[in-house]
Amino acid sequence: MPDPLLTLLLDFDDQVRRDQEQSPVFLHRRDRRFALDCAQQGLAPDPQHWLAHLHRLNPRPAVTGTDPRLLRWQLLGRGFALAGAVFGVLTMLGLLFYDGSQRINLTVILGFVALQLLFALATTVQAVAGWQPWGWLMAQLGRHDAPSSPALARLRPQLMARIAHTGGLLFGIAGLLTLLVLVVVQDLAFGWSTTLDTGAAGYHRLLGTIATPWHWLWPAAVPDLALVEATRFFRLQADSGTIGVSRWGDWWPFVTMTWLVYVIAPRLLLLLLARAHLQRQIRRTLAHHPGLTALQYRMETPALDTGNQRDDSHHQPDLTTASRATAVPAASVIIRWAGAEPPPQLASAPSLAAGGSATLAQDRQTQLDAAAELAAADSPAVILVTRGWEPPTGELADFLETARELWPGATRIALLPLAVEPGAALPDHQLSQWLRFSERRQDPLLQVATATGLTGSGSKTRGAAS
């Protein structure tokens, strides 16, 4: 079940990271305009309305199904729930195993119930304290996943607590159902025994204390002293027929209520507490997000106009960059970004589509398909064909960051921005924005290539670097 508040936090965190590629002046004017529009409409300029406003300005493909960022957590939660139900059945079958030679020891059941209660409390304590005892497991499960949001990483203790309590609750429910079925289909014989020097009266007082929560609701589930005295057995006892055999089965109401009150009820209450704690941590993480502080400053501070009347429209900005464009390398895979079509000379290499109207799941599949092709290449190289007149986007930066995690480490990535006219050279002011984008990535294997000088029908003979 999706969590709207958690999805809001992740969407906000992703948008803040994409905004890092934009000019501060542009961000200030955009967000100040949004705040003024909200004031006119009587709306609170909160992150939810802000994201909806940006989506209207620049629609992004809707994510169908489970959010990829939360897919691993959803699968882990289902796995814990299934494992809890299975182990609940097996555990109760083991506790109530009866072959006629020895009675079911009530003391063992009470000890196991106390252990379950201890586990439930420890799970809650680790979440409240922010410990991550499951960190090694998450590291193993996430080795081949795309890098998740830092905001999501800070919520791991609370997410794991919710998953663990869900599995514990299913464990308790499955165990209770198994107990009731065995009571119906078998003639269970309960008794109690302990190595300690404990009399029937002392054991009865202990059981009375345990049964305090339900003594007024179900008096039959509170054992009396006569039942305790009649069902005690000893390990060397040879003849059990003299003890009240007819009362051996009278313990099942007490066992049922003990399991319900001390196994299922705590798990249910702690699960609700874990959900509330997770929601509180999400709100706290969003409220203290550095991007929210910057956003509020931009919305509250007027965008100043310097009043400069000088016409600088004929002045070109400084286009110089430290890097230079390279020739097109021999490609193992070609990726068509946002519908850009590669030159005919590159038709021999496998071609995949990404970006634009593609969903996040489709982009992920493209990265995996490319990884399979690159793993079989001696000198893995990818040519990512884009429209040169469109500036690089944060979506492309996220795609490259995720791809670098999946592709072989020696993979060379060549960005190939194309001009409007097929075969024409890309203007300097457009090429420079791609060179600056490449420099900001700080990836020595990421370069910008130009389509000028492509000859022949293949891509095997090109590869001179500057």
392 and 289 co-located in one domain: no
> Residue 63 domain-assigned?
yes
| Better-predicted residue by pLDDT, 228 or 76 | 76
pLDDT tens readout for residues 344-361? 887 778 889 998 878 888
280 and 360 co-located in one domain: no
Which structural domain range is residue 428 located in?
333-448
Average pLDDT across the chain, whole number: 82
> Residue 364 domain-assigned?
yes
129 and 262 co-located in one domain: yes
CA distance to 81, 87, 103, per residue, from 97 (Å): 24, 15, 9
Q: Report phi then psi at 251, rounded to 5.
A: -85, -15
CB neighbours of 165 closer than 8 A, spacing ≥ 6? 120, 123, 124, 267, 270, 271, 274
Instruction: For residue 421, count CB atoms less than 10 angstroms from its CB and return exposed for 0-12, middle for 13-18, buried for 19 or more.
Output: exposed
- Rounded mean pLDDT, 11-17: 89
> Residue 462 domain-assigned?
no
240 and 345 co-located in one domain: no
d(CA 262, CA 172): 10
Residue 238 has pLDDT above 50, yes or no: no
95 and 153 co-located in one domain: yes
First to last CA, the chain: 52
Of 305, 320, 348, the position where a domain reaches its end is: 305
pLDDT band, residue 102 (cuts 50/70/90): confident
Residue 84 has pLDDT above 90, yes or no: yes
Q: Annotate 195-234 with DSSP letters as a single string.
A: SS---HHHHHHHHHHHTGGGTTT-GGGS--HHHHHHTB--
Residue 146 has pLDDT above 80, yes or no: no
**Angle, alpha carbons 24-27-33 (nearest 5°):** 140
pLDDT band, residue 122 (cuts 50/70/90): very high
**In 3D, which of 100, 265, 77 has the Cα closest to residue 187?**
100
Using DSSP, state whether 191 is helix, strand or coil: strand
pTM value > 0.75: no
> Residue 143 domain-assigned?
yes
286 and 422 co-located in one domain: no
**Tokens read off for 91:** 């555990």
185 and 134 co-located in one domain: yes
d(CA 304, CA 24): 13
200 and 291 co-located in one domain: yes
113 and 49 co-located in one domain: yes
Interhelix angle 265-287/156-185, nearest 10 degrees = 160
Of 305, 322, 350, the position where a domain reaches its end is: 305
CA distance to 174, 216, 268, 385, per residue, from 426 (Å): 67, 85, 63, 13
> Residue 212 domain-assigned?
yes
- Rounded mean pLDDT, 304-313: 52
> Residue 313 domain-assigned?
no
pLDDT of residue 149: 65
| Better-predicted residue by pLDDT, 427 or 113 | 113
Among 161-170, 246-255, 379-388, 402-411, which is the least confidently predicted range?
246-255
pLDDT of residue 390: 84
278 and 340 co-located in one domain: no
291 and 406 co-located in one domain: no
> Residue 461 domain-assigned?
no
Helix (H) or strand (E) holding 86: helix 68-95
- Number of structural domains (the chain) is 2
The amino acid present at 340, given as its one-letter code, is A
358 and 262 co-located in one domain: no
> Residue 321 domain-assigned?
no
